[in-house]
Every structure is written in C-alpha cells, then in structure tokens.
Amino acid sequence: MKTTYNQQLKAFIREHSSLFWYTPEDKKEKISPELLLETILNYGSLDDGLRLIELIGPDNARKMLQNVEGRKKMNYYPEIYNFFTLYLNRNA
C-alpha cells in the first residue's frame, strides 16, 4: 500500500512540476507533504487540491492545516486556509 501511495504522490508532483519551479528537478519528488499541500492549495486548482487531499487522506490534510502556526500559517492565502479548514473539518 505504501509503495502505491508513494508512486501516486510522485506522479502527482510530476504532473504539477511547474508549481515547484524553484526546486531542482532531482529534489522535487522529495518535497515534504506540508510544502506539497501548501503549494497545491495556494496555486493549484480546486480539483488539484481535492485530489491531493484524497491522496494524502483528509485526516492527514486536516492535521497538517491545524498544525500550521505563526509564519508558516501566513504562507497560506487567508481565503484558501479558511475554505480548506472548513471543508476538512466537515469532511474529514
């Protein structure tokens, strides 16, 4: 199961590689789940965000959003943070 998860996540990162333009190609598949979630929610489409949440699991996504604080919380656009917090609290 974990292998399939990793392969799906790596494929998802490759599909959205352009959003990680500042990351060297050989390191893109090693980005943290927190950075992946932040980048996709902020700069991807709504469908991209929902697909990523499905891949990592709604509970994991909710925990990641809840654990973000201080400066890292400010990396999310306020409306994005609010929408997905409400969505995950209701659906996770």
Query: 57-75 pLDDT, tens per residue?
Result: 999 999 999 888 777 778 8
Contacts of 88 (CB under 8 A, 6+ apart): 53, 58, 61, 62, 65
Residues 89 and 62 sit within 8 Å (Cβ to Cβ): yes
Cβ contacts of 29 within 8 Å, gap of 6 or more: 10, 13, 14
pLDDT of residue 73: 73
Range of the domain at 20: 2-91
pLDDT of residue 5: 59
| pLDDT tens-digit map of 6-60 | 889 999 999 999 999 999 999 988 898 899 999 999 999 999 999 999 999 999 9
Task: Report the domain count for the chain.
Answer: 1
Whole-structure pTM value: 0.86
Quick check: 54 and 7 in contact, CB under 8 A?
Answer: no
Nearest-10 crossing angle of helices 58-67, 46-56:
100
Look at residue 2 in the predicted model and tell me its pLDDT. 53
Nearest in space to 12 (alpha carbons), one of 1, 39, 24: 39
Task: Give the pLDDT score at 59.
Answer: 95
